[in-house]
Amino acid sequence: MTKSKSAYSVPGKIGKIERHIIVVWVDNEAGVLARIAGLFSGRGYNIESLAVAEVDKKKHISRITIVTEGTPQVIEQINLQLKKLVPVHKVADFKRGEKDILFRELAMFKILGNSKKLEKVKKICKKFNPVILDKTNKSIVIQVTALRAEIDKLALDLKSLGLISTSRTGAVAMTKGSRIFN
Amino acid sequence: MPKLLSGAEIVFKALEDQKVEYIFGYPGGAVLPIYDELKNHKSIKHILARHEQGAGHSAEGYARSSGKPGVLLVTSGPGATNAVTALTDAYMDSIPLVCISGQVPTHLIGTDAFQECDTTGITRPCTKHNWLVKDVNDLSRILHLAFEVATTGRPGPVLVDIPKDIQFKKGNYKFFKKTLKKKLNGKASKKISNSELDKFIDLIKKSSKPIFYTGGGVINSGPEASKHLRELVSLTGFPITSTLQGLGAYPGDDPQFLGMLGMHGTYEANNAMHDCDLMINIGARFDDRITGKVDEFSPGSKKIHVDIDPSSIGKNIKVDLAIVSDVTTLLKTLIKRFKEKNKNFVNSNKQKISKWWEQIGKWREKKSLNFINSDKIIKPQHAVQRLYELTKNQDTFITTEVGQHQMWAAQHYKFNKPNRWMTSGGLGTMGYGLPAAIGVQIANPGKLVVDIAGEASVLMTMQEMSTAVQYRLPIKIFILNNEYMGMVRQWQELLHEKNYSESYTAALPDFVKLAESYGCVGIRAKTPNELDEKIKEMISVDRPVIFDCVVDKAENCFPMIPSGKPHNQMILGPEEEEEISDEGKVLV
């Protein structure tokens, strides 16, 4: 046990780290993203990915999806602290791996290569809803939607096939069935 | 069509509708239109500080002693950055403040204009919310919302940044009463359920080693909360301890009161917290100065936590029953339900907790606040005790700076009423007490207001004496002068082999002459013999006083819990100081 005569206590035991997806509905006003991001950085929480866009043009509501990691206690704090912010309407929290939640990320890959290689690219992207956005005889821009880990793996596989540029979004999430977030 | 008003007029109209009587501030280029408008509003008095930090702490002192929000008016750039310490202080200690800051004209924002800074960016982490007003027609809604946010749920500071062109522009004014669509801060949106209350009462009845642990939330909930707390404590016969911020909610001289708990709390309070089987936390937040090492904090107890801020619950300590509520509301309903079924509980339960009280009696016998007095040199604890004895019969308001003197004040001055004790607890801001005393005196004319100060702290905002003199505020600055940053020196003694690195202040001013130069009264006491007479002289003078109380330079503040230790391992006095590990040193 650490012995201390300091003005601060020694750190206690750290709980198990979980990955969560937190969805936040906010007023789409100036500085709102800075408030959310500042809350995370100021209190030492992680942001793995973040996706944000206005979802209700009339009421100016944006939906922010944040992927984060922390102990159950930290995750609970993130939820409670977010709810205290004035522009936040509601917060939903899902554990990664929950069954009735859908997650998707989108990625765009640019690959340079001859037609043979590009055919190969199309083949290995097949499982991930590929859309060819642009094509020349020596390049291809392909869009896929999949889970984070799948995109990670795909990017790795594409490397040897001439992947030169990757652009990815953060995860977005939605419940299955008729249930909605509340 | 309603008459259009300028932005500056709208500011005052909103302040009038919010029944603001005083604003604390300092003018500058970007707020001049608002200052120009001041003359047209006789119901609002402006108190000119000498530094925006001083204005901020004055507004805090005003708010804490009156229960009303404090209002602060500063200019752009340095005006706003100077206010940041006060805003952060208010944020940590849950004080409602509304800060209005000027900003460079809209078209210059982002150009690094003269006295421009990103005020809303800088103050985002130290306010509950802030706004940059870009349209004069939004101004009245934002100002009223600002007051609502500052005072709703867990109180705190807010800031409204108004560009200079918006202050000139004409727009509509409307008085918005309740504008918030949602309950802020989770202010108990639902009624407290009977099952929660019954669980609460059940825990009370089952306990044989209970303790109330109450904090600033009781004070913030208003004077009624203190009344109910007193009733509940007397209905149960349980012991009660308080945090630094909660002092005064329960009478400090009552036999059921164990004194303050925490790092410099009493032996009986801390041991009772450690050994109890039921801890009833009302309006406190399990701060690290209270819990010490979290893993070993009160290991055998069931814990109840009442807090208005849901994010305070479970943040540091897991509890068995959590109730998100305003303290007054909770206590009222709890007492009503408790009385229905538990008539004469105190007497019927006496037997059950008698052993507990016996044990507390044994801890009390240690007399942990004792110190070795001297007849040659003034001991700082003695000075606070004498101040208490000589002022306890009048309604006295105490503010403090931060350090040893603050802890001695908390230990030796006994408070019997809420809102009489204003100290910077969360942020620990040296320089808080003098300007806070100004705000307290403004809110409480005719009352005795004393800042128990250290000579190092008070020099940080000494310029505010000029404010006190200007407005004829007879505040008393009672300096326990040991020529050291005492708490720093104490830690250096305990942790750093008495290497008193930079904690001694050479070339201190002569405080008596300093007082004279400010146009107030300077008094010095050097020996215990003359102390009482000098204190009486200080109280009787109807002018601001700087009291230079020359005290023992080497005195340390005991008892203390060395951090990292549980509550039952306090150091009672210098003879118990132990060797310090290297790991411990890193953590200061």
DSSP string, B545-588: EEEEEEB-TT----SBPPTTS-TT--B-SGGG-----HHHHHT-
Residues B391 and B417 in one domain: yes
Q: Do B564 and A7 touch (CB under 8 A)?
A: no
CA distance A26 to chain B (A): 12
pLDDT for B492 equals: 92
Q: Do A83 and B563 touch (CB under 8 A)?
A: no
> Contact, A45 vs A70, CB < 8 A?
yes
Q: Do A83 and B294 touch (CB under 8 A)?
A: no
Strands of B175-320 (E only): list them: 210-214, 240-242, 257-260, 278-282, 302-307
Place of tokens 């059950």: B352
In chain A, which residue's Cα lies nearest the Cα of B292?
A9
Question: Is pLDDT at B153 greater than 60 in this prediction?
Answer: yes
Q: Is residue B533 part of a domain?
A: yes
Q: Do B584 and A13 touch (CB under 8 A)?
A: no
CA distance B114 to chain A (A): 23
pLDDT for B190 equals: 62
In chain A, which residue's Cα lies nearest the Cα of B182?
A89
- The residue among B149, B183, B217 that closes a domain is B183
Residues B53 and B80 in one domain: yes
> Taking the CA of residue A165 as centre, how many other CA atoms within 13 Å lie in the half-sphere pointing to its CB?
9
Q: Measured between CB atoms, which of A7, A38, A86 is closest to B588?
A: A7
Number of helices (H) and strands (E) in chain B: give both, helices first: 23, 20
Structure confidence at residue B575 as a pLDDT band (50, 70, 90): low
Question: Is residue B110 within 8 angstroms of chain A, CB to CB?
Answer: no
As a whole-number percent, the residues of chain B with pLDDT over 70 amount to 95
Question: Is pLDDT at B120 greater than 50 in this prediction?
Answer: yes
- The residue among B131, B151, B183 that closes a domain is B183
Q: Is residue B328 part of a domain?
A: yes
Question: Is residue B569 within 8 angstroms of chain A, CB to CB?
Answer: no
Q: Do A4 and B182 touch (CB under 8 A)?
A: no
- The set of residues, in sequence order, having a beta carbon less than 8 Å from that of B198 and lying 6+ positions away, is B337
pLDDT for B579 equals: 45
Instruction: Convert the pLDDT of each residue in B85-104 to its tens digit.
Output: 999 999 999 999 999 999 99
Residues B257 and B176 in one domain: no
The C-alpha atoms of residue B424 and residue B88 are separated, in whole angstroms, by 11
pLDDT for A178 equals: 87
Q: What is the mean pLDDT of residues B39-67?
A: 98
Residues B236 and B134 in one domain: no
Per domain, the residue ranges of chain A are 18-95, 101-174
pLDDT for A14 equals: 78
Residues B268 and B297 in one domain: yes
Residue A23: exposed, middle, or buried by beta-carbon count in 10 A (0-12, 13-18, 19+)?
A: buried
Instruction: Convert the pLDDT of each residue in B369-384 to its tens digit.
Output: 999 999 999 999 999 9
A7 vs B contacts (CB less than 8 Å) = 491, 563, 587-588
- The residue among B146, B164, B183 that closes a domain is B183
Q: Which of B141, B156, B160, B335 is nearest to B233 (CA)?
A: B335
pLDDT for B180 equals: 65
Q: Is residue B189 part of a domain?
A: no
pLDDT for B585 equals: 46
pLDDT for B183 equals: 53
3-state helix, strand, coil in chain B (%, to 5): 45, 15, 40
Q: Is residue B243 part of a domain?
A: yes
The C-alpha atoms of residue B65 and residue B449 are separated, in whole angstroms, by 11
CATH classification of A18-95, choosing from 3.40.50.720, 3.40.50.150, 3.40.50.1000, 3.30.70.260? 3.30.70.260
Q: Is residue B585 part of a domain?
A: no
Residue B417, Ramachandran bin (φ over 0: left; ψ between -120 and 50: alpha; else beta): beta
pLDDT for B580 equals: 45
Tally of domains in chain B = 3
Question: Is pLDDT at A64 greater than 80 in this prediction?
Answer: yes
Dihedral sign, CA of B280, B282, B286, B290? Answer: negative
Query: What CATH code would you report for A101-174?
Result: 3.30.70.1150
Q: Which helix (H) or strand (E) holds B410?
A: helix B404-412
Question: Is residue B103 within 8 angstroms of chain A, CB to CB?
Answer: no
Residues B400 and B448 in one domain: yes
| Summary mean pLDDT of chain B | 94
Q: Is residue B570 part of a domain?
A: no
Phi, psi of B505 (to 5 degrees): -100, 105
Instruction: Convert the pLDDT of each residue in A5-57 to its tens digit.
Output: 567 777 777 789 999 999 999 999 999 999 999 999 999 999 999 999 999 99
Q: What is the mean pLDDT of residues B146-175?
A: 96
Length of chain A: 182
The C-alpha atoms of residue B138 and residue B129 are separated, in whole angstroms, by 16
Instruction: Convert the pLDDT of each residue in A139-177 to its tens digit.
Output: 999 999 999 999 999 999 999 999 999 999 999 999 998
Structure confidence at residue B573 as a pLDDT band (50, 70, 90): confident
Catalytic site includes residue B487 = yes
Dihedral sign, CA of B383, B385, B387, B390? Answer: negative
Residues B265 and B402 in one domain: no
Residues B328 and B398 in one domain: no
A38 vs B contacts (CB less than 8 Å) = 124-125
B585 vs A contacts (CB less than 8 Å) = 5-6
Question: Is pLDDT at B189 greater than 80 in this prediction?
Answer: no
Residues B495 and B392 in one domain: yes
Its domain, for residue B115, covers 5-183
Place of tokens 């906010």: A26
Catalytic site includes residue B128 = no
pLDDT for B1 equals: 66
Residues B418 and B493 in one domain: yes
Instruction: Convert the pLDDT of each residue in B262-321 to its tens digit.
Output: 999 999 999 999 999 999 999 999 998 888 888 889 999 999 999 999 999 988 899 999
Residues B179 and B322 in one domain: no
Instruction: Convert the pLDDT of each residue in B409-445 to its tens digit.
Output: 999 999 999 999 999 999 999 999 999 999 999 999 9
Among A86, A88, A90, A182, the residue to mutate for chain B (most B Cβ within 10 A): A86
In chain B, which residue's Cα lies nearest the Cα of A31?
B121
Structure confidence at residue B576 as a pLDDT band (50, 70, 90): low
Number of helices (H) and strands (E) in chain A: give both, helices first: 4, 9
The C-alpha atoms of residue B382 and residue B388 are separated, in whole angstroms, by 10
Q: Which residue has the higher pLDDT, B587 or B251?
A: B251
In chain A, which residue's Cα lies nearest the Cα of B494?
A5
**CATH number of residue B63's parent domain:** 3.40.50.970
> Contact, B156 vs B427, CB < 8 A?
no
Residues B76 and B175 in one domain: yes
